[in-house]
């Protein structure tokens, strides 16, 4: 398949932006067709990119270009957004931004509340500049659900840190039931993770 340039993508989006501005006013079938068309065109530029569209009705809308945390496609996100034209009614954003803590992540049967999570920094003996994180949860993690808990933890980190910071600043992640002596082991409240990362990088 012949790929298109970043400018080709924006030429297409500029010509069709009004359809997406009124996306919430369309029926479900039309909305799905429009979303499929946008994803197809985005994949014509880079197969590793995805998007989010949102905003209040009749106000400026956001088009977020994301690599869903895949570092291999971060340059494609940056290059695309850097050449985005100024579009009336649109704010184009590179990477999913941090969204605070007022949420609960539901993934399959797993629900995680960031206010009830803790983290333990993990040292990398081979590279002191790399940071690992262990998430501690109060509930028991069945072996069969370990992968689902880990996926949910990744979603939480993307949400509280933002896609770019979560992918670039955390090199390793695992999750386990919080030990009874977690405070003695050096666990911190997850709400302090961003500040800890800034300290670690400094």
User: 72-130, pLDDT tens digit by residue?
Assistant: 999 999 999 999 999 989 999 999 999 999 999 999 999 999 999 999 999 888 888 99
Give the integer Cα–Cα distance in Å for 132 and 190: 14
pLDDT at 23 (0 to 100): 84
> Pick from 16, 56, 11, 15: which is nearest to 33 by CA?
16
Question: In this predicted structure, which of 53-62, 75-84, 141-150, 159-168 has the lowest mean pLDDT?
Answer: 53-62
Could you give the percent of the chain with pLDDT greater than 70? Answer: 100
Q: How many helices (H) and strands (E) does the chain have?
A: 7, 9
Q: What is the pTM of this model?
A: 0.85
Mean pLDDT of 40-47: 97
In Å, how far are 31, 38, 146 from 35, measured between CA atoms?
6, 5, 32
pLDDT at 90 (0 to 100): 95
| Signed CA dihedral, 174, 177, 183, 184: sign only | negative
Whether 55 has a pLDDT exceeding 90, the answer reads no
- The per-residue pLDDT for range 173-200, each reduced to its tens digit, is 999 999 999 999 999 999 999 999 999 9
Mean pLDDT of 9-21: 95
Whether 58 has a pLDDT exceeding 80, the answer reads no
When the pLDDT of each residue in the chain is averaged and rounded to a whole number, the result is 94
pLDDT at 125 (0 to 100): 86
Tokens representing 62 are: 């956001």
pLDDT at 78 (0 to 100): 98
Whether 1 has a pLDDT exceeding 70, the answer reads no
């Amino acid at each position: 398949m012949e790929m298109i340039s970043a400018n080709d993508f924006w030429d297409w989006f500029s010509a069709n932006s009004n359809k997406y501005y009124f996306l919430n006013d369309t029926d479900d079938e039309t909305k799905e067709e429009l979303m499929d068309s946008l994803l197809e065109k985005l994949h014509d530029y880079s197969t590793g990119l995805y998007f989010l569209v949102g905003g209040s009705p009749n106000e400026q809308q956001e088009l977020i270009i994301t690599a869903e945390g895949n570092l291999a496609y971060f340059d494609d996100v940056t290059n695309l957004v850097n050449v985005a034209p100024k579009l009336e009614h649109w704010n184009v954003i590179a990477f999913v931004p941090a969204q605070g803590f007022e949420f609960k992540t539901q993934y399959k049967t797993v629900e995680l509340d960031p206010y009830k999570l803790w983290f333990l920094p993990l040292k990398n003996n081979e590279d002191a500049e790399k940071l690992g994180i262990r998430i501690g949860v109060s509930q028991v993690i069945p072996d069969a659900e370990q992968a689902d808990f880990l996926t949910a933890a990744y979603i939480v980190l993307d949400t509280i840190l933002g896609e770019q910071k979560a992918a670039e600043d955390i090199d390793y992640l695992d999750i386990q039931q919080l030990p009874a002596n977690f405070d003695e082991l050096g666990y911190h409240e997850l709400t302090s993770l961003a500040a800890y990362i800034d300290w670690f990088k400094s």
